[in-house]
Amino acid sequence: MKVITRTVWLLSLVSLFTDTASEMLYPIMPLYLKSIGFSIVLIGILEGLAEAIAGLSKGYFGKLSDHTGKRMPFVRLGYGFSALAKPLMAVFIAPLWIFFVRTIDRIGKGLRTGARDAILSDEATPQTKGKVFGFHRSMDTLGAVIGPLLALIYLQYYPQDYKTLFVIALAPGILAVLCSMLLKENNIKPQIGKTSVSFFSFLNYWKESPKTYRRLVVGLLIFTLANSSDVFLLLRAKQSGLTDANVITVYIFYNLVYAVFAFPLGILADRVGLRRMFLFGIFLFALVYFGMAKSGNQYYYFALFFLYGIYAAATEGVSKAWVSNLVDKKHIATAIGTYSAFQSICAMLASSLAGVIWYKFGAAATFATTAIITVFVLFYFSFLPDKTTVLKAT
C-alpha cells in the first residue's frame, strides 16, 4: 500500500507554500511590531489573542466539517484567507488594524486545520499515521526554511524594509490556493440530526469523547500553558546581541532541522510508539528553555535551536497522529478542532503571561518558569498508559 498518496503530497505542497509566506514574516514580525511602537507586553497579547481566536474557530469549523461531510471548502477558503491577510499587515500601523489582520490570518488557519488533518488521517492507517503526519510536517516546515531565507536575502539589500516583505508574501500564498484547487473531495457521510452547528457546539464533544482522548488532551494543554510563542525565543536571541540577520539565520536553521527530522522521526514513532517519541521531544524542550534562561553568543543559540528543531519534529506531527488514533473516524475533525481550540486559549494565556513575566522579572525568569513546568508535564506523560485505542467509524 502506498503510504504517501497524491492527496498527502498535494496537502503537503499547499502547506509548504503557505508556510513559505507565513514564515517569511514570522521572524521579522517582532522586529516590525517593535519598529512601529509595539511594546513586548503588547506583542505578547497580540500573538496570544490572535491564536485564541484561531483556536476557537478551529473547534467550530472542525465540527462543521464533520457535520456537513465536507473537507475541501474549509481547506481552500482557509488557505485563501491566510494568503490575502499577509499584504494587509503593511497597509496601516494602528494596533486595531494589525490585530484585525492577524485575526483574519488566524481564522484562515482555523478554517482549514481540522478538515486538513482529518484528510491526512483518512489517508493513513493507525500504523502509518506518524509517517504521514511527519511527512506533512516536514514539507510544511520546509516552507519555514524557504520563507525566512527569502526574507534574509531581501533584507541584505533593503535593510529594515519590512513592509515590502508583507506584499512579497502574497505570491507563495496564491500558489498554495492554486494547489488546493487540485485536491478532490472525498465525501464522508454527513451527521444526521441537528440542522445547524452553533459556534461553541464543539464543546459538547468533550463530554462525549473517549477517556483516553481527554487524558491525552489534558496533558497537552498543560504543556501548552507553559509554551509561549516562539517570538520570545527570537527576542531573547536579539536581546543577547544577535543582529537581525543572525536572528533570521538561527530561525532558518531551526526550521531546517525541524524539516529534516520530522519525517524520519514520524517513521520512528510508528515503530517505538507515539508516546515515547513525544516524551523524548518535551524532554528536549525543557533542556532548551533551561538553556534560554542563560544568555550566550550566536553559537550557543545555534545549539539551542538545533535541539528545539528536534523537539518540534518529535512532537508536532506525533501529537496529532496520537489524537487521531484515539477517536472515531467520523469525529476526527471535531476531535482535532476541539483540542486545537483549547490549545489556542492556553497559548493565549501562555504568551500573555510570558510577556508579563519578561516585563516584570526579565527573560531568564520567563524561560526558567517554562522549563520547570515542562518537567512536571514530562512526569504526567510518563505515567499515561502507553496504548492506543482506535475506534472504528460506524
341, 55 contact by CB (below 8 A): yes
Quickly list H helices, the chain. 6-25, 29-35, 40-68, 72-88, 95-122, 129-157, 162-168, 170-180, 204-208, 211-226, 231-239, 244-272, 274-292, 298-324, 332-361, 363-382
CA–CA separation, 346 vs 112, rounded Å?
Answer: 20
Question: Which pLDDT value is given to residue 287?
Answer: 93
Of 90 and 222, the one with more pLDDT = 222
113, 74 contact by CB (below 8 A): no
Residue 193 lies in a domain: no
Question: Which pLDDT value is given to residue 391?
Answer: 42
Question: Which pLDDT value is given to residue 195?
Answer: 55
Tell me the mean pLDDT in the region 270-290.
90
Q: Which amino acid is at 176?
A: A
CA–CA separation, 3 vs 26, rounded Å?
Answer: 32
Domain total of the chain: 1
258, 319 contact by CB (below 8 A): no
User: Residue 358 is part of which domain span?
Assistant: 6-184+203-382
Chain segment 307-351, per-residue pLDDT in tens: 999 999 999 888 888 888 888 777 888 888 888 888 878 877 887
- What are 325's three cell numbers? 488514533
Chain segment 245-263, per-residue pLDDT in tens: 788 788 888 888 998 998 8
pLDDT at 196 exceeding the cut of 70: no
Q: Which region among 83-87, 188-192, 234-238 has the lowest average model confidence (pLDDT)? A: 188-192
Residue 236 lies in a domain: yes
- What are 247's three cell numbers? 536572528
Of 77 and 202, the one with more pLDDT = 77
Of 96 and 85, the one with more pLDDT = 85
- Could you tell me the CATH number of the domain that includes residue 265? 1.20.1250.20
The predicted model scores a pTM of: 0.78
Question: Which pLDDT value is given to residue 236?
Answer: 84
Residue 369 lies in a domain: yes
Band the pLDDT of 193: cuts 50, 70, 90: low
Residue 194 lies in a domain: no
Question: Which pLDDT value is given to residue 261?
Answer: 92
Residue 190 lies in a domain: no
225, 376 contact by CB (below 8 A): no
Residue 391 lies in a domain: no
User: Cα-Cα-Cα-Cα dihedral of 215, 220, 225, 230, to 10°?
Assistant: 180
Question: Which pLDDT value is given to residue 389?
Answer: 44
CA–CA separation, 172 vs 23, rounded Å?
Answer: 11
Residue 70 lies in a domain: yes
Chain segment 54-73, per-residue pLDDT in tens: 777 888 888 888 888 888 88
Band the pLDDT of 280: cuts 50, 70, 90: very high
